[in-house]
Amino acid sequence: MDELVARNASGIRSMKESSLPVMVPIQEKDWDTMVDLLESSVNFQPKLYSLVKQQIAEEQMIFQSLVKQIKDSSMNMDSLARQAGKSLERSLNDSLAKGTQLETAIAKAAKRRSWKTWTLIVMVSILSSVLGAALSALLCMHWLH
């Protein structure tokens, strides 16, 4: 930047200090106006570069801020996904444990029921056999008398 400013200033100085006659068919006041305009442009050039540089720096800061926000959001989403996964895993494990407990309880109840059912069937069978024998005996005694 400094080199550019120095070259421009040197060029303008040599134009102003030139002792050679101007060979351009324009009036001297127009020449002076043109040189002043050129000098203004050259003087403004570093300001323009500075403004552009400042704008780029601000945009870079905004970009870096956005990148940081995106990274933070991504990390938060990953954390939430891990937490949701752990919660789902705990819930499934609890459900499986409760299912296993229920299955065991049902199996025990079925075993007790079948034991009770078997006992009831045996008792009914014995009672019906005894009742049948008693009825047969009563009938035989009734006819034999």
Q: Which tens digits make up the pLDDT trace of 106-136?
A: 788 777 767 777 777 778 888 888 888 888 8
- Predicted confidence at residue 65, as pLDDT, reads 93
**Do the Cβ atoms of 35 and 12 come closer than 8 Å?**
yes
Q: What is the C-alpha separation between 111 and 118, in angstroms, rounded?
A: 10
Q: What is the C-alpha separation between 76 and 74, in angstroms, rounded?
A: 5
Task: Provide the whole-model pTM.
Answer: 0.42
Q: Name the pLDDT band for 70 (thresholds 50, 70, 90).
A: very high
Residues in the chain: 145
The residue with greater pLDDT, 49 or 21, is 49
**Do the Cβ atoms of 44 and 78 come closer than 8 Å?**
no
Q: What is the C-alpha separation between 76 and 64, in angstroms, rounded?
A: 18
DSSP 8-state code for residue 48: H
Q: What is the C-alpha separation between 96 and 91, in angstroms, rounded?
A: 9
**Do the Cβ atoms of 52 and 19 come closer than 8 Å?**
no
